[in-house]
Structure 1
């Protein structure tokens, strides 16, 4: 089975839960938007009746609401959990399913990259869907308050830049966007590596999660300690280069470890 067939198969397996996640996020966000518009309109009307109508609405107020932030947190948590579950689900039933996958006539890393590409497609798709949803929410927000002749403060881009999570998801700089996407890649690779190391020890010791996490912590900590020692000597451009090199090293090391444990250490 080649990479495209495995990728198509993995995507098919995740389609239903993924659509349920997206639908849930959309319902929560637009439901919160409806309540926010109604509540803010009533609040402004009270201010107008008392002669104190200098209050201005801002899209960032809506984005800073607990329901909206909670929906983003659920989305991030769901993607992290599925990055692990995409492997763990194949080990259910005494590992018979993963055994079938690993004995198929293809290199084991083909399976790794199929699962990896599936997670990246889900993540990028979620970012794109959320961007479209944000645009629609902003249009509904401005149309509602314009129709009520209620002043609005700030633009769409300003509202996103104020929100820390959205500013990371949709940075204005192309360089920052690429770096943020590399961070997503690194996080997924770390989760994959953790699962494969832990599963490689699962029949040998109950300490396998601790050993797996310890290995990854060493890989994660060394470059961070290096930056702490060099940060005072690096200018901005050098810092960007250092971060880029560290991300490449992290990706290379995690892929190498995953390949080693998947091909020669994994027991099923």
Structure 2
């Protein structure tokens, strides 16, 4: 089974939970938007009666609402949990399913990259759907208050830049967007490596999660400690280069560890 076939198969397996997640996010966000519009309209009408209605409403006020932020948090948590579950589900039933995958006539790293590609497609899909949902929410926001003759302020792009999480998801420059995607890849690779190390140790010691986590903590903290030591000696351009080298090093090391444990040490 080649990479594309295995990737297609993994995507098919994630389609149903992905659609459930998307549906839940849209219900929460548009439900919160409806309540926000109703509540703000009533509040503004009260201010009009007292002559204090002299401030414009901003879309970012809706984006900073607890319900909206909670929906984003759920999405992030779901992707992280699925990054773990995409491996552990194959170890159910004493690992017979994973055993079949490992004995298929293909390199074992094909399994690794198929699962990685699935998570990245899931993430980018959420980004795209959320962007469309935000556009629709902004249109509904401005149309509603225009009909009520309530002033609004700020553009769609400004609202995203003022909201911390969304400014990371949708940065103003393509380079920043690519950097953020690389960071997501690194996080997923760390999760994958943790699972593979833990699965390699699980029949040998009950301390396998602690051991695997300790290995990754060392890999993660060494570059950070190095930056803390060198930060006062680096100018801006050198800092950018250092961060780029660290990201490439993290990527390379986690893939190498994943390959090593998947090909030579994995217990099923």
Q: Normalised by the shorter chain, which TM-score bucket?
A: over 0.9
TM-score by length of 2: 0.99
Q: Retained in 2: the 8 A contact 1:44–1:55?
A: no
Q: Secondary structure at the match of 1:242?
A: helix
Q: Secondary structure at the match of 1:204?
A: coil
Q: Report the CA distance between 1:176 and its aligned residue.
A: 1.3
Which residue in the other structure is 2:165 paired with?
165
Which residue in the other structure is 1:62 paired with?
62
Distance in 2 separating the partners of 1:262 and 1:39:
54
Distance in 1 separating the partners of 2:263 and 2:113:
13
1:123 counterpart = 2:123: yes
Cα deviations by residue, 1:38-77 (Å, 9 ceiling, x for unpaired): 0000000000011111121110100000000000000000
Q: How many residues align?
A: 268
Q: Report the CA distance between 1:194 and its aligned residue.
A: 0.2
Which residue in the other structure is 1:263 paired with?
263
Which residue in the other structure is 2:10 paired with?
10
Matches within 5 A, 1:162-201: 162-201=162-201
Which residue in the other structure is 1:97 paired with?
97
Q: Retained in 2: the 8 A contact 1:3–1:114?
A: yes
Q: Retained in 2: the 8 A contact 1:200–1:265?
A: yes
Distance in 2 separating the partners of 1:239 and 1:144:
46
Cα deviations by residue, 1:9-62 (Å, 9 ceiling, x for unpaired): 000111000000001001100000000000000000000011111121110100
Deviates more, 1:230-239 or 1:145-154: 230-239
Which residue in the other structure is 1:87 paired with?
87
Which residue in the other structure is 1:39 paired with?
39
Distance in 1 separating the partners of 2:40 and 2:119:
38
Question: RMSD of the TM alignment (CA)?
Answer: 0.7
Deviates more, 1:154-163 or 1:98-107: 154-163
Q: Report the CA distance between 1:174 and its aligned residue.
A: 1.9
Distance in 1 separating the partners of 2:148 and 2:130:
27
Distance in 2 separating the partners of 1:173 and 1:238:
20
Q: Report the CA distance between 1:93 and its aligned residue.
A: 0.4
Q: Secondary structure at the match of 1:205?
A: coil
* Unaligned stretches of 5+ residues in structure 2: none
Deviates more, 1:164-173 or 1:192-201: 164-173
Which residue in the other structure is 1:76 paired with?
76
Q: Retained in 2: the 8 A contact 1:57–1:151?
A: yes
Distance in 1 separating the partners of 2:168 and 2:230:
25
TM-score by length of 1: 0.99
Distance in 1 separating the partners of 2:50 and 2:265:
73
Distance in 1 separating the partners of 2:15 and 2:126:
12
Distance in 2 separating the partners of 1:175 and 1:224:
22
Q: Report the CA distance between 1:159 and its aligned residue.
A: 1.0
